[in-house]
Amino acid sequence: MDSGVLDISFDVTAEGGDDPGSLEASFSGPFQGGGYGVPQFDMEAEASLDSESQDFSGSAGLLSTGDSAFLSFQGTDYEVPAEAFSQFRTAFEQAQSQGQQGENQDLLGSLGIDPSGWLTDLSNEGNEDVDGTETIHVSGQADVPKLIEDLRTITESVPQAAQQVSPAQLDQLGQLTDIVTSADFDVFTGTDDDILRRLEASMELEPPESGGSPDSVTVHFDVTLAELNEAQTIVGPTDSQPLETLLQQFGVDPSRLGQLGAAAGGASEPGSAATQAYLDCLGTAQGADALQRCEALLEQ
């Protein structure tokens, strides 16, 4: 898949408990790749949260021309500094080269894992049109115990994953077998090329009983690929502002951008402890002060 238009939607609804509500998110836009270097894309994201405790809605976007990048936030475009993008591009191309060198390695096969075993009760629902392409629609259910078993095998067998996942987290992974009560999937592949055009999934979860936890959670996501391998025209905005303008609104020092680029470069080096600490910190950071504490880890 060298180019096309990607559309992803994700909905979560929680019922019961102390804070019932729903979250809706989407991520969509055209992309153009297929060669060496940073691909072109123009992706827009929207999210809305409606719960007993809070309401939120917002939008953002990320655009790459391959030579430059732009971030949009709440309707305003900001250009990523050339130096920071150059550092990211170098790291991306290094990772890309490493991926090409190992592209013939069948990781799952070497572990004795067959992804086709993750689905059961398969049924051919006939041919259906997906954004102008004729597809074969196959429905089925996830074999959750088999999926969890294979995920555990991957986590324990791949060195990089094993270093990041603790035994306690593995135990939590195994508990999903009891939490996921149903998982239905619908797969749509092109009749002429067998390439995925749409993947839809719905899951019902019953979280363990604890103080304030919801009684049930429904998760639905839908991924669609349209205009597959058709040329996409992606052009950067002409009225963008410097990214520093946005960073300053959140109390982030613009001079840190160079260190963020260095973090992207270090991410391709498994032994970079500072980079890993920085990424772990970002996963839980909330607010400008927390972000600054994360950035300080890059100096260690």
Residue 243 in any domain: the answer is no
For every residue of 25-57, DSSP letters joined together read EEEEEEEE-SSSSPPEEEEEEEEEEEESS-EEE
With respect to residue 245, please indicate whether it lies within any of the assigned structural domains.
no
- 56 touches 48 (CB < 8 A): yes
Which pTM was predicted? 0.73
Torsion of CA 164, 170, 172, 175, to 10 degrees: 150
The pLDDT score that the predictor gives to residue 47 is: 93
229 and 255 share a domain? no
Asked if 139 contacts 122 with a C-beta cutoff of 8 angstroms, the reply is: yes
In the chain, the number of structural domains is 2
Q: What is the pLDDT of residue 266?
A: 46
- Is there a single domain that holds both residue 212 and residue 255? no
Residues 140 and 99 in one domain: yes
Cβ contact 21:49 at 8 Å: yes
Structural domain containing residue 267: 251-300
Check residue 268 and give its pLDDT.
41
**263 touches 298 (CB < 8 A):** yes
Q: Are 278 and 295 in contact (CB under 8 A)?
A: yes
Surface-to-core class of residue 294, CB atoms within 10 Å of its CB (0-12 exposed, 13-18 middle, 19+ buried): buried
Residues 106, 21: one domain? yes
**Statement to judge: residues 61 and 141 lie in one domain:** yes
| Averaged pLDDT, groups of 10, the chain, 300 residues long | 93 90 95 84 94 88 92 89 84 72 58 81 95 94 86 75 68 78 92 93 88 88 93 92 82 60 46 58 59 64
Tokens 């990048």 found at: 69
pLDDT of residue 25: 95
Do 227 and 104 fall within a single domain?
Answer: yes
Asked if 26 and 133 sit in the same domain, the reply is: yes
Q: What is the pLDDT of residue 9?
A: 96
Shared domain for 18 and 140, answered yes or no, is yes
Q: Does 191 reside within a domain? A: yes
| Same domain for 79 and 107 | yes
Claim to verify: residue 93 and residue 233 sit in the same structural domain: yes
